[in-house]
Amino acid sequence: MLELYRIRRDVSDLAADVARFRRPHSGNADDDQSWDIITRLLARLAKP
């Protein structure tokens, strides 16, 4: 159950950050940080 909670949290965080890039954005430092979060989350979720 704990692993499912972690996965749910990661997917939720991923959805929030992807939503940020679906809107107009300026490419500022916050965008860079969000992109880093997306890449880390995807790498973690891709692990078997």
Domain ranges of the chain: 2-46
Residue 47: band (very low, low, confident or very high) from pLDDT cuts 50, 70, 90: confident
Average pLDDT value for residue range 20-42: 92
Average pLDDT value for residue range 6-30: 92
CA 34/CA 14 separation, integer angstroms = 9
* CA-CA-CA-CA dihedral for 16, 22, 27, 30, to nearest 10: -10
User: Distance from first CA to last CA of the chain, Å, rounded?
Assistant: 17
Average pLDDT value for residue range 17-37: 92
pLDDT attached to residue 48: 73
pLDDT attached to residue 39: 95
- Predicted TM-score (pTM) of the model is 0.75
